[in-house]
Chains A and B, each alone.
Chain A
Amino acid sequence: MEDNKVRGYHDEFYPPFPSKATLFWRRNIFWQLIRFVVLNLKIMRIVVGGHT
């Protein structure tokens, strides 16, 4: 919808918006495979330390 366009003085104007490079790396298979491993390790750290 036209209303979806980001304009000043709307809430949508103020948050950071991903650049083309950010969007590229978000879908880059090789980089995301690395992130997949890293994020899983970080989640495991939370899980293991979560209860006694």
Chain B
Amino acid sequence: MISYYIFYDNKSFLLLILLILNTMAKIVVLGAGISGHTAATFLKKKLGKKHEVIVVSPSEYYQWIPSNIWVGVGKMNVKQVRFKLKPVYDRLSIQYLQAKALAIHPEGDLEQANAFVTIQYTGTSRTGETQKVTYDYLVNATGPKLNFEATEGLGPKLFTHSVCSADHAVDTWEALKNGIDRMKNGEKLNFVIGTGHPAATCQGAAFEYALNVAHLMKELDLQDRANITWISNEYEIGDFGMGGAFVKRGGYITPTKVFSESIFAEYGIHWIKRAGVNKVEENLIHYENLDGEYKTIGFDFAMLIPAFAGAGMKAYDKSGADITSQLFAPSGFMKVDADYSAKPYEEWGTDDWPSTYQNPVYKNIFAPGIAFAPPHQISKPMKSPNGTLITPAPPRTGMPSGVMGKVVALNIVDMIKHRETELKHRASMGKMGAACVVSAGYSFFKGNAATMTVFPIVPDWKKYPQWGREISYTVGEAGLAGHWIKLLLHYMFIYKAKARPFWWLIPE
């Protein structure tokens, strides 16, 4: 496609007019996680064979990350939570390149007039080979880099375990099995589960894993030999990186702190909150708390979620000058249509949050899912007297990521087919809700899960001055029904991701 971009600067507002002289557009999607895969499949469905959709992903698999929890406790095997992407993309006529993106050249370079991405192949006969892939539209949905390096001693290669990927979850289950064998032989073990960095997010996944381990111990009648401790950077248990929430429960409007602590107490899990893990040694975790105290806790088995960072891509202009800081925040996440101006917590609002995930400079680049740079945390930033920020980063996984991927796809379709310059489809975390089903034990008749919903994800204190969110939309309930919902979501979303008949009818 030949595209003409006419830019004019009016009060820092950049207007893009796209004139399409040729009918063929080329869209490159970086990443095949929940957001990228959703974007790619909807793009292809809406655009058909007239336009080219290319997916670049370093892994040959799609994985349904929420079910990694069950792989980590041996209730599912890895084949149940992932499948190969290529057969699905071949069927959908989406081109798939098993590679990782190294750099974005949004203006091309001196040799290549069109915008392009430099990719490096992984896991195939072309491993290590680099290539320039040109694009008309770019969807950066790389997700996070699991930044184990940010905490000394953290990660599957060192002293702790993870359920952030299916492979990690398999290794974690092997280690847990080893621990179970030791307990069967009479040993008492200390399990520490939670967050492994003062600014880590994804507390929900660690929370689920802690409950599943406790449930497994009870199932195996080993609960008396397992001492399970939750360690987290949350100010209060149940913060989950979204400043906590209130739910209607038992005739009261109850904070998630009470809801979550109640579940922990029921499952016999101790907890340490306001803790920023800063170092892990063999069998010993070092952390600092919000009082500024440096403490340690011993462990025999630890599953700690790392900090997340951007994928680490670079960006260059036409002359080859480094413009990474124009496209990406210092964290490595991509800047989009958010308000990044620094302001105190009291002035934060839902309007700060992006709704189209479009890059403000290069209007043909989008970053849905975890790849976009949030304007700030959702939870109130808390610092220890030593100056350490001990606050969860905002969560952006699961349901919101899928919605963002779809919205980005629909807007690109409008830009291509209808020459739209104003983006009609929007999904701000300040205006969308989220449902979170926290597994608390896998069994069809004896399982348990806590179902929680919030609306919106980012509290809107102007619209809902009392609780920050619409209370009538909230749910906080534990029970077997939650487990069935979690199972249903597993099979439903894998069906959808495999693009089986009528997959598009399943909502994000």
Contact = CB atoms under 8 A, between A and B. Distances in A.
B204 to A, nearest CB: 15
A46 B473 CA distance: 7
A17 interface: yes
B200 to A, nearest CB: 21
B316 interface: no
Contacts of B406: 51
Nearest to B228: A4
A16 B265 CA distance: 8
B263 to A, nearest CB: 8
A43 B262 contact: no
A51 B451 CA distance: 21
Contacts of A51: 403, 406-407, 425-427, 431-432
Contacts of B194: none
Given A33-B481, A35-B477, A40-B485, A47 B508 contact: yes
B226 A15 contact: no
A45 B261 CA distance: 27
B480 interface: yes
Contacts of A45: 473
A47 B399 contact: yes
Contacts of B96: none
B453 interface: yes
A46 B265 contact: no
A19 to B, nearest CB: 11
Contacts of B480: 26-27, 29, 32
A15 B265 contact: yes
Contacts of A12: 264-265, 268, 270
A35 B507 contact: no
Given A15-B262, A47-B507, A1 B425 contact: no
Contact of B435 (A4, A14, A27, A47): A47
A44 B424 CA distance: 22
Contacts of A10: 270
Contacts of A6: 265
A26 B433 contact: no
Nearest to B225: A1
Contacts of B264: 12, 15
Nearest to B451: A39
Q: Is the interface of B mostly helix, strand, loop or mixed?
A: mixed
Interface residues of A, number: 35
Given A27-B480, A51-B426, A46 B262 contact: no
Interface in A1-47: 1-4, 6, 10-18, 25-27, 29, 32-33, 35-36, 39-40, 42-47
Contact of A27 (B407, B445, B451): B445
Contacts of B225: 1
Nearest to B484: A36
Contacts of A2: 224
B369 to A, nearest CB: 14
Nearest to B507: A47
Contacts of B427: 50-52
Nearest to A12: B265
Contact of A18 (B266, B407, B446, B508): B266
Contacts of A13: 265
B150 interface: no
A46 B434 contact: yes
A32 B188 CA distance: 36
A40 to B, nearest CB: 7
B507 to A, nearest CB: 5
B130 to A, nearest CB: 37
Contacts of B262: 15-18
A4 B227 contact: yes
Contact of A15 (B261, B433, B475): B261
Contacts of B482: 39
Contacts of B188: 1
A3 B432 CA distance: 42
A15 B263 CA distance: 9
Given A32-B484, A48-B507, 9 more contacts: A4-B270, A6-B265, A10-B270, A12-B265, A14-B261, A25-B479, A36-B485, A43-B475, A50-B508
Question: Which 4 A-B pairs have CB atoms at the shortest separation, nearest pair first?
Answer: A51-B427, A46-B433, A50-B432, A15-B261
15 contacts: A1-B224, A1-B225, A1-B227, A2-B224, A6-B265, A26-B448, A27-B480, A32-B481, A39-B475, A39-B482, A39-B485, A43-B453, A45-B473, A47-B433, A50-B432
